[in-house]
Chain A
Amino acid sequence: MTLKRTSVIAIVLLLAAASGFAEPAPAGDAGKALSVRSFQFKYKDADKAAAMIKALVSPDGSISIQPSTNSLVVTDRAENLKNIAVALTKFDAPARALKLSVRLVGAARVEPQKATPVSDDLKDVALKLSMLRFNAFEDLGSSAVDGKEGDPGIVELASGYRADFRFGEYDPASDSIKINDFKLARLQGPKKDQLTPLLKTSLNLKVGQTVILGASKVPQSERALMIVVVARR
């Protein structure tokens, strides 16, 4: 009898608690139902696609990567899945053709009377670098490399500098192209056959924008190497 009473009380309390904690069901509750959709990729990696749509997936959703089939299984609300599908369709495009122009300029700070006039092809750079008090410029060569996303590229200049890199992916969100593992080295030695590494970096280059990447030991250095790069699609 005592057990029966206790059970009745427990049930009443549970019902009361349940009614108290239950959130009011919104009118569009049916729209919160989760759907599952699979996406298989032809050109891009599934893990990169997962990283790309991570921000688009709602807290109720989830992503499962299937490496064996290079596909993603996305669980989310139907409405959100539509946006994700659009994004993934655009993402899984064939590798885009890209181009990287590289120009090396030696910049120095010299006494004004010793400064030579800046040649026409360096005036754009000289103007920008004058704010850093560089007033002497030397053209160390230039080259352009065509390729596709994922392709390697090599620039060899007569001045002995050599740059190799890998084209990354074009990012529509920032309208930029990633340049991976940009390694700059210089041929040195009596016979100019010893390749000395200078720096290694990865860059995000906005399409069409000229980027002057200067390198020196310290801000007060009298000399700096300017790597002028422009990425295009």
Chain B
Amino acid sequence: MISCQNFRTMLAPGTDDPSLLRHLRTCEACLDYAIGIDADLLFRSLGGEELVPPGGVDAFAADVMQQVRVRQAEGQVVAHHGAPGWPRRLAIAAVVAAGFSTSTLVYLNRQPTVSNPLSAIAVRPAAQVSFENAKLTTKPVVESYSSDNATIVEMAAEGPNDAKVVMIFDEKLPADL
């Protein structure tokens, strides 16, 4: 057992020196002193003398190694039965991929039109609607009117040269128009 003076001389923060820790467990004064230098020394000093497992260290180590070997053997068995080797995985993947490709091709070939109907619909008018060949469109005579509450009635003309009558009924209009 070292003296208090030696202890305090040798003490350094974070020490694991067994003689210092043994001194700490027996000397209250040095414990207070040591905690002031490194509070973790309080916990390092706990535990008492060196622990020896039942049956000795060799028996303990043999048990641990046996458990390690058992776990390794279990892992190998599970791996062997649970996951196929890479040639087998490749074969499975190839079968899945072939099935997927075949079904996709069959689906595409069964479509009566091209596979992207939206683009087909949209492209067709763009290609066909030429400025010169575009049919004449018809617009409403009254495109906008100042009052939202008005009723606008557009009467059909009998021909392109016939006069067209459009009536606006609006409560806000004066009676003596």
Residues in A lying within 8 Å of B, measured CB to CB = 5, 8-9, 12-13, 15-17, 19-21, 23-24, 55-61, 79-80, 83, 86-87, 90, 106, 124-125, 128-129, 132, 171-176, 178, 196, 198-206, 208-219, 221, 223-225
Query: Within 8 Å of chain A (Cβ to Cβ): is B170?
Result: yes
Candidates B86, B94, B115, B140; contact of A23 at CB < 8 Å: B115
When the two chains form the complex, which single residue of A198, A209, A211 contacts B160, counting CB atoms closer than 8 Å?
Answer: A209
Tell me the dominant secondary structure on chain A's binding face: mixed
Chain A residues with CB under 8 Å of B143's CB are 178, 201-204
Min CB gap A221→B, angstroms: 7
B176 neighbours in A (Cβ, 8 Å): 223
**B86 to A8, Cβ gap below 8 A?**
yes
B163 contact from A21, A56, A124, A196, Cβ within 8 A: A124
Q: Are B138 and A218 in contact (CB under 8 A)?
A: no
6 A-B pairs, CB-CB below 8 angstroms?
A16-B101, A55-B129, A198-B177, A201-B146, A209-B162, A219-B167
| Ranked 6 nearest A-B pairs via Cβ | A16-B97, A87-B131, A20-B104, A225-B177, A200-B146, A210-B163
Judge if B100 is at the interface, Cβ distance under 8 Å.
yes
Evaluate contact between B163 and A200: CB separation under 8 angstroms. no
B1 within 8 A of A: no
Question: Does B144 sit at the interface, judged by CB under 8 A?
Answer: yes
Residues of B within 8 A of A212 (CB): 163-166
By a CB distance below 8 angstroms, the chain A residues around B130 are 83, 86-87
Binds A, one of B2-10, B43-51, B68-76, B119-127: B119-127
Q: Find A171's partner among B100, B119, B139 (CB 8 Å cutoff).
A: B139
Other 19 A-B pairs with CB < 8 A, given A20-B103, A206-B164? A16-B96, A16-B101, A19-B101, A20-B104, A23-B115, A23-B116, A56-B126, A106-B177, A128-B163, A199-B145, A211-B141, A213-B141, A214-B168, A216-B177, A218-B169, A219-B167, A221-B175, A223-B175, A223-B176
Which residues of chain A have C-beta atoms less than 8 A from B90's C-beta?
8-9, 12
Q: Does B132 contact A (CB under 8 A)?
A: yes
Whether the pair A217, B122 counts as a contact (CB closer than 8 A) is no
**Contact at A209–B168, with CB atoms within 8 Å?**
no
Docked complex Cα distance between A211 and B142 (Å):
11
Q: When A16-B101, A79-B127, A215-B173 are in contact, do A24 and B146 touch as well, CB less than 8 Å?
A: no
What chain A residues lie within 8 Å of B105 (beta carbons)? Answer: 20
Q: What A residues does B169 contact at CB under 8 A?
A: 216-219
Do A125 and B145 touch (CB < 8 A)? no
Tell me if B19 is interfacial: C-beta within 8 Å of chain A: no
CB of A211, distance to nearest CB on chain B (Å): 5
Contact check, A216 vs B139: say whether CB atoms are below 8 A apart. Answer: no
Decide: A199 near B173, CB < 8 A? Known: A79-B127, A212-B164: yes
Of the candidates A9, A79, A205, the one whose C-beta lies within 8 Å of that of B93 is A9
CB of B53 closer than 8 Å to a CB of A: no
State A217–B160 Cα separation when bound (angstroms). 29
